[in-house]
Amino acid sequence: MAACAGPARAQTIPSPYRFINPRQDVGLFAGGIQEARGSLRLGPGGGPTLGARYGIYLAGPMSLEASTFLLVTDREVYDPHPNGVIELLGTTSTYVGGMDALARFALTGRRTWRGFQPFFLTGGGFVVDLAGSSDLDADLATGDQFSFGTSPLGVLGAGTRWFPSERLSLRLEAVLHLWRLSTPDSFLQLKSKLGPLEAREWAGAVGLFGGINFGF
């Protein structure tokens, strides 16, 4: 009986969870952001967006990441008349650049479930108009001109990462961007004709992005 006994074997239990070893990652992403022109339609529209990000794991489910992006879009230029008529002068191309710092919370911690790691994120930063004034703005009085300038940025989003290998991951996410628009003085003087207007308002734009990351 001793001679016929087989060798002892350890029992293995397959698990859908896999630990993520790299603590840092860098990546590129692309997608699109919808328009967020505001109630007076003075702000930037939507368009294709390109960006890059860096992330680092902290502890448990939490990571920090920073990203920068460029939105290629347009802006409508309006001329407010004293009688309350708002004349559309045309559309001009513009570029919006942004930087943000985000906290990312993974629902599976530092592990994946069948290769997937769903997450949600929140944070903030700033966006800036890289194009400046256009030829259409030159035809307007100073008080009529809209200036996007530099605006604070709020970010809230959710998505998932898929790890085909230990270091390589693909990422898909939906993100809400909130930025602030300032109303030109001449528009504010037309409150009696245009209705209630705010000197500053927050506009929200939803973006959908896909990207690729490399861990190290």
pLDDT one-digit tens code per residue, 23-64: 999 999 999 999 989 989 999 999 999 999 999 999 889 999
Report the mean per-residue pLDDT for the chain. 91
State the virtual CA torsion across 189, 152, 51, 174 in degrees, nearest 10. -90
Residue among 154, 208, 211 nearest 180 (CA): 154
| The domain over range 27-215 is classified in CATH as 2.40.160.20 | yes
Q: How confident is the model over 146-158, as pLDDT tens digits? A: 988 899 999 999 9
- HEC letters along 58-95: EECCEEEEEEEEEEEEEEEEEEECCCCCEEEEEEEEEE
pTM, 2 dp: 0.87
Q: How far apart are CA 126 and CA 61, in angstroms?
A: 26
DSSP conformation class of 192 = H
Looking at residue 178, its pLDDT comes to 96
Q: How confident is the model over 79-118, as pLDDT tens digits? A: 988 888 889 999 999 999 999 999 999 999 999 999 999 9
Q: How far apart are CA 47 and CA 33, in angstroms?
A: 6
Residue bearing the bigger pLDDT, 188 or 127? 127
User: Which residues have C-beta within 8 Å of that of residue 43, sequence separation ≥ 6?
Assistant: 35, 36, 37, 75, 146, 148, 179, 181, 203
Looking at residue 15, its pLDDT comes to 86
Residue bearing the bigger pLDDT, 169 or 197? 169
Place of tokens 């939803």: 206
Residue among 186, 154, 185 nearest 36 (CA): 154
pLDDT at residue 18 is higher than 70: yes
Give the mean pLDDT of 133-152. 87
Looking at residue 198, its pLDDT comes to 85
Looking at residue 133, its pLDDT comes to 82
- Count of Cβ atoms closer than 10 Å to residue 106 Cβ: 21
